Structure 1
């Protein structure tokens, strides 16, 4: 009984975090552009949208997360705790490290890690999901670029939209597309928190979408203030028309994937749409920004990171294998060491003058003794 309560607590806490990050961000464009002036009103709109999305169309993705990747025969309450725990740990560590991870990719990665540990995995369904992860963000990029080019060519003919009497129309359009983006988040992302519970038979699909949608909405309304503030300030460079195109395009693609029961990374889709619009506005200079490299890292790191954690938890607590645990631990330590060395190398490359001055201050500084070579090597 205790382990079941723990599973529900982790799932609902995970749902609130999904709402605080992804769902709240859906109204970032509308809030940042001034279409919705009060932050709390924007959060309420996103909360209502995500709840309705979960209730109306979240069932198919819940089924995929619950039973489409690994067989339900190996799903029990202990496995559910491991899947949700690995997802939560991955997001927690990523937040500390400042790495934005996709909740869909993290959850799928955790489920795959369990499947690998028990050698029970529906690889055909997994390949379809990964294929969608590649195709949909790329499609978002090209479609956004095309829309941006069309808006530029039609700019002279659309000057009437800049008149004050049409401002309300554009404002309503941005709010509507933001609501649709929240709706799509409810259809797709709520399954990440309750899908394992449904797969283990602890909840029905309808109960799971209701409970998950409710707590994702609560997370968006109560905990999404900082996220929507950050996203709103970053999106202010877009016009109302461009912002509505980004939100509407992302929402359409995510809703389409949800109808087929495919969990997709909404963050990457929105980012690729923004890059596509940026390419039409600023040209190839947009590719010089670090956001492209960060996007690629998120694609690779999100599922692999949670996969390793869930696999390790299974091997430690349920199916102990000393060799597997040792290998995973060594890989983890080697990864941390590599990251540390890369950061140290970047710091030296970014500020070589500081490094030379630091050496001079140690070697020949006034009033200081010359330190041994071994000490200088570790400074």
Structure 2
């Protein structure tokens, strides 16, 4: 018979997975939703499928190692696991309520680091290495995207030409015995190719999110022997899917519309930069700050485009009108106050998890 304490642990794990889905879906599919490539419901369903694939394959390694690298010894008893998961889930829930996606990896590492500090068992060298990459990678994302936005965006847009048309992307051909999907009359082949690229990269980002973040929901319980690996992955993936189709709607709005207006070309740039950096960090064994990297890529692209508009030269009356139109659009390209709110909360959430876990386990 399952004990009451284990039921509590499972409930907290589901709560963490639910908030992981709410936070990471906005980052993976925000550009695709903001550009009109997919709906919010479709984004949630795709997030569910690819997060499960990532967790079921690559994520097994993360589940195995998360509980042993940051803290020396074997700290994850069932009560301790519940305490750690509580701070991870609670902190992520606060970020989702504010509509700002927070880094699950940073929050989970923060909570476990709080446990390690309280027990004088923190693997300091490992933590410092991870933090150094968390600082460097978002800066790389910001500046690469910013340079693309300022100097290369127009050339990229002209080359791929993936502006969206009105109406649906696909239509059903009902002339035959079996209805078959085909491109709608208004859809160009280039637009269809662009949509496939954006959605495909978003699915890859969802795969990466599942690979790294499934562990954040279940690693303590699996590490304590209370849950098998397969059962844990299925539990976490189901909870992520629930969050992806419900609470993720707010973070989808924030990432797709609240920071910068993203046409399909811009969504493709953000997705490529973010997915490349996350994959590179995962390849060298660093738990990637998935949310922060994608956020800073989005902000960097908007900043680059906005500063390009602000720096245009005005030489005659026609250019004056054009420049004024560009200045009006700057507020759409880059919103400093929205950016400040996002960055502040993304740093506050892991800090809250760390301090809360340290305070709890200091008196445990």
TM over 0.5: yes
Query: Deviation digits for residues 9-51 of structure 1, max 9, x if unmatched?
Result: 1011210121122125422222222222x43222211221211
Aligned pairs for 1:186-335 (under 5 A) are 186-234=210-258, 237-283=261-307, 289-294=336-341, 296-298=343-345, 300-316=347-363, 318=364
Q: Give the superposition deviation at 1:164.
A: 3.1
**Structure 1 gap segments, 5+ residues each:** 319-379
User: 1:41–1:95: structure 2 CA closer, same or farther, 3 Å change rule?
Assistant: closer
Q: Which residue of 2 aligns with 1:343?
A: none
Please say if residues 148 and 280 of structure 1, whose CA atoms lie closer than 8 Å, have aligned partners that are also in contact: yes
| C-alpha distance in structure 2 between counterparts of 1:196 and 1:279, whole Å | 40
Relative to total residues, which structure has the larger helix share, 1 or 2? 1
Please say if residues 57 and 259 of structure 1, whose CA atoms lie closer than 8 Å, have aligned partners that are also in contact: no
Q: How many residues align?
A: 316
Provide the aligned C-alpha RMSD in A.
2.9
Q: Which residue of 2 aligns with 1:176?
A: 200
User: 1:89–1:168: structure 2 CA closer, same or farther, 3 Å change rule?
Assistant: closer
Q: Which residue of 1 aligns with 2:25?
A: 23
Q: Which residue of 2 aligns with 1:108?
A: 109
Q: Give the superposition deviation at 1:265.
A: 2.3
User: 1:134–1:211: structure 2 CA closer, same or farther, 3 Å change rule?
Assistant: same
| C-alpha distance in structure 2 between counterparts of 1:301 and 1:160, whole Å | 39
Please say if residues 150 and 307 of structure 2, whose CA atoms lie closer than 8 Å, have aligned partners that are also in contact: no
Residues 85-94 or 281-290, more deviating: 281-290
| C-alpha distance in structure 2 between counterparts of 1:196 and 1:275, whole Å | 34
Q: Which residue of 1 aligns with 2:146?
A: 145
**Structure 2 gap segments, 5+ residues each:** 164-186, 311-332
Query: Deviation digits for residues 74-111 of structure 1, max 9, x if unmatched?
Result: 22111101101122233345556777542222211111
Please say if residues 110 and 350 of structure 2, whose CA atoms lie closer than 8 Å, have aligned partners that are also in contact: yes
Q: Which residue of 2 aligns with 1:2?
A: 4
Q: Give the superposition deviation at 1:281.
A: 0.9
Residues 169-178 or 219-228, more deviating: 219-228
Q: Which residue of 2 aligns with 1:12?
A: 14
Q: Give the superposition deviation at 1:253.
A: 1.9
> For 2:142, what is the secondary structure of its paired residue?
helix
Residues 43-52 or 141-150, more deviating: 141-150
Query: Deviation digits for residues 164-201 of structure 1, max 9, x if unmatched?
Result: 33111111111112211211211222221112222323
> For 2:222, what is the secondary structure of its paired residue?
helix
User: 1:153–1:195: structure 2 CA closer, same or farther, 3 Å change rule?
Assistant: same
Q: Give the superposition deviation at 1:118.
A: 0.9
Larger radius of gyration: 1
Please say if residues 111 and 310 of structure 1, whose CA atoms lie closer than 8 Å, have aligned partners that are also in contact: yes
Q: Give the superposition deviation at 1:315.
A: 3.2
Q: Give the superposition deviation at 1:262.
A: 2.5
User: 1:103–1:125: structure 2 CA closer, same or farther, 3 Å change rule?
Assistant: same
Please say if residues 106 and 303 of structure 1, whose CA atoms lie closer than 8 Å, have aligned partners that are also in contact: yes
Q: Give the superposition deviation at 1:231.
A: 3.8
User: 1:85–1:157: structure 2 CA closer, same or farther, 3 Å change rule?
Assistant: closer
Please say if residues 102 and 292 of structure 2, whose CA atoms lie closer than 8 Å, have aligned partners that are also in contact: no
User: How does the TM-score come out when normalised to structure 2?
Assistant: 0.77
Please say if residues 188 and 254 of structure 1, whose CA atoms lie closer than 8 Å, have aligned partners that are also in contact: no
